[in-house]
Every structure is written in structure tokens, then in C-alpha cells.
Chains A and B, each alone.
Chain A
Amino acid sequence: MPVHGAIAAALLAAAAVPSLAQAPAAPATPADTPELPRYTIDPTHTAVTFEAVHRGVSISRGRWTRTEGDIAFDRAAGRGRVAIAIQIGSLSTGSKAFDAWLLGPAAFDAAQHPTARFEATDFAFDAAARKPVRIAGTLTVRGQGHPVTLTTTLFDCYTSPLFRREVCGGDFEAEIDPRRWLPAAALAAAAVPERVKLLVQIEGVRQ
């Protein structure tokens, strides 16, 4: 399992997001907080799926499965941060025509913007359950960053028999308005849904 330390460091340096005062009475800590346990994302169990209503009658789905990144969190201290990069070109809906349109200039414009990022340092924890319940961060797509909050629907940690290390992860979701990330020309070219659900699977291996 390759350690993506160099990539993680680059992502964190690029994030430049100030830590919010989630830990009461503690001084503001820099985004790269060495003492938080770190987890490197397992790309085979990390994916982003979108769901959008189609023709008002069914749900179109697509997913990105090439991801990499880094998570650090401390359940006891109730702090965390995450930086994930998503390769836009890994999108697959099952329809080649739909993939081509989505990757093109009217939607994701993968040629100009091959990578999307989600970066967050604002973790809300359920102290009793020792689980993150909300992760508020910035989703950058097509070079445009807007706030997105992920809500946790499942979270746990286990000892992986494969890695022989702790793995933590879960399911997270958010509903977004994709129009916020699109330039006027793209909005004029086609009907863009107002609501898209993002379903995020993440698992990270303890470093």
C-alpha cells in the first residue's frame, strides 16, 4: 500500500485553510497539525458517486473512483482535517455518451480541470459516539471553490486483516447545486439540475 505522503503534503500546503476553533480554549492550530493521527486514503475503498433525477422519473448515477488523499483526526480531541483529490477523468456513468458530455466543456471540462478537491478542517464530532457527524469544507471543481458540508451516515474503525493496521472510514453525503460551479456559458448550453446528491465512501489506513 503506497504511502501518499508527498502528495498529501502538497495538497495540505495548497489548502491554506485556517483551523476553526472547534477545540474550546485551545489556541488556533495550523492546518498541518502533526499530533493528529494520520490516515492515508485507500483508493480502492474511496469513491464519489453522484445521483441526479433524470426526466423526473429515474436517477442517473455516475462515480469517480480515482482518488488520493490524506485524513487526520483525533476522536478524543474532536478535531480533524481532510484533503482529497479526485481525478475527474475517472468518471463513469455506464453510458459513454453521457460520460463524454459530462467530461466536456459544458460540464466538468476535464481537459482544463483534471482534478477536483475537497478540503476541510471543520469536523463536528459526536463526543459520546466518538464519530464525526459533519465535515464542512470547500469543494473545488473547474477551479471554483464553494463550501460543501458532508453529513456522516456511517462511520467506524476496524483492524484490517489485509493492511494489519487500523482503518477508519465511512459514508458521507451532501446535496449540492451544481450550477454554482458552472460558468454562464455552460448554464446556457443545457438544463443543469438544481440538486445533485453526492455519496462519498472513504476509508483511510492509519500511518
Chain B
Amino acid sequence: MTLIRPLAAAALALAFAAPAAAEPVRYRLLPDHSFVHFEVRHFGTSTSRGRFGPVDGEVTLDRTARSGQLGLRIRTATVDTGVRVFDSRLREPDLLGVEAWPEAYFVASRFEFDAAGGVSAVRGEFTLRGIGQPLTLVAERFGCRSEPAAGGTPAREVCGGEFVADVLRSAFGATFGLPFIADRVRLRVQVEAERL
């Protein structure tokens, strides 16, 4: 993890016991590396998987102020399990309801940072089928990389992470198949975003 600059800034802030100057930095999600994967138990026996995406959105991180904002947009029709009949079934009104609710969102403005200055959790609201519920994404991985310019791409900073959260689909009205297809769905969010 190359977080030397923000750590130095944070150290200076502490040393002088003065309020840290806000340094919000905006990042835009990279579509090839931003997806929401989901896992759900089937008859308590095996785990079925699928994903939504690419997911788009923007993140603002202010590591000196230890704050951030995030808006993710998920096009629900992008659901993809690798089994076409499942995808079609999932799009129907008693599950994703993609006609009535073509987008799901995760919006957050409560960021938690660890001692190294990396994001450790993001607390916000997840909206699916038009219903909003509080949701906290816990970071399993997070880091930022400075990529040198190469082959036509300019130098840039990319921050990314791997986040996990469990939801109860019944809380969003997606009730088909209970209990044989579990209520609890694990979301695994892969995000990579480039600095704007």
C-alpha cells in the first residue's frame, strides 16, 4: 500500500493538534474491476453465485479528515449467474423486479479508516426494489496504487478494495423461493476507482 502522503499529512495534523485541512479526492469506478457478486445457499447444501455489473459510481476520499462519500449504481438487469433461465427468473417482479426497479443503489457518507489510513468500513443505505435499508460494507482489502504511465495510459492513482455485507432479501421484498433458497445473501463488492 502506498499511502505515504496521506499518512504524513495525518501525522503532521496530530503533531500540531490543529484541525486538518480537508483534502477530498474524487475517484471514478473502473468498469472492468467493479462488480457486486452475490452468494446464496441452495437447500442449505451448496452456494449459488451470481453478479451484477459493471457497477458505476464515484467515491470521494479525504484521508486527512478521515471521511468519504460513495455512490454506487447497479443496473439490476445485469444480473448474471451463468444460467440463463435463472437470470430471467431473477429479473421477475417477485425477485429483482427489473422493470419496475431497473437500478439498485448504495449511498454512503460514513467511512471508517484503520490505523494505516485505509478504508475499513463504509456505512450507508442500500436500495433495492425501491426499498432502502441500512447497510455496512466491511473492507476485507483496501489499498491505493500509483500506476506509472504505460502504453498510452497516463500515470494515475487507483484505489480499490474488496467489501462484504450480508443482506436479507426479504427485507427488500424479494421473497420467492424461501426458505429453500436462503433469505441471507452475501454481497461481495469488488471496487477499483481511478483518481479524477
Q: Which residues of A contact B143 (CB under 8 A)?
A: 55-57
The residue that A92 contacts in the complex, of B31, B82, B142, B159, with Cβ under 8 A, is B82
Residues A158 and B160 in contact in the complex (CB < 8 Å), given A58-B192, A61-B51:
no
Complex contact A60–B46 (CB within 8 A)? no
Residues A94 and B45 in contact in the complex (CB < 8 Å), given A54-B33, A57-B192, A58-B162:
no
Which residues 47-68 of B sit at the A interface, judged by CB distance below 8 A? 47-49, 51, 53-54
The residue that A61 contacts in the complex, of B32, B35, B145, with Cβ under 8 A, is B35
Interface of A is mostly: strand
Distance in Å: Cβ of A41 to nearest Cβ of chain B: 11
Which residues 82-107 of A sit at the B interface, judged by CB distance below 8 A? 90, 92, 94-95, 97-98
Q: Tell me how many residues of A have a C-beta within 8 Å of chain B.
A: 38
B167 CB within 8 Å of chain A: no
Interface residues of B (CB under 8 A from A): 1, 31-33, 35, 37, 41-49, 51, 53-54, 80-83, 85-86, 141-145, 158-162, 180, 188, 190-192
Interface residues of A (CB under 8 A from B): 44-45, 47, 49, 53-61, 63-65, 90, 92, 94-95, 97-98, 154-158, 160-161, 167-171, 199, 201-203
Interface of B is mostly: strand
Expressed in whole angstroms, the Cα–Cα distance for A60 and B190 within the complex equals: 7
The residue that A56 contacts in the complex, of B37, B46, B80, B145, with Cβ under 8 A, is B145
Residues A95 and B32 in contact in the complex (CB < 8 Å), given A47-B49, A57-B144, A60-B190:
yes
Complex contact B144–A61 (CB within 8 A)? no
12 A-B pairs, CB-CB below 8 angstroms?
A: A57-B141, A57-B158, A57-B159, A57-B160, A57-B162, A58-B141, A61-B51, A92-B80, A94-B80, A95-B31, A154-B41, A169-B46
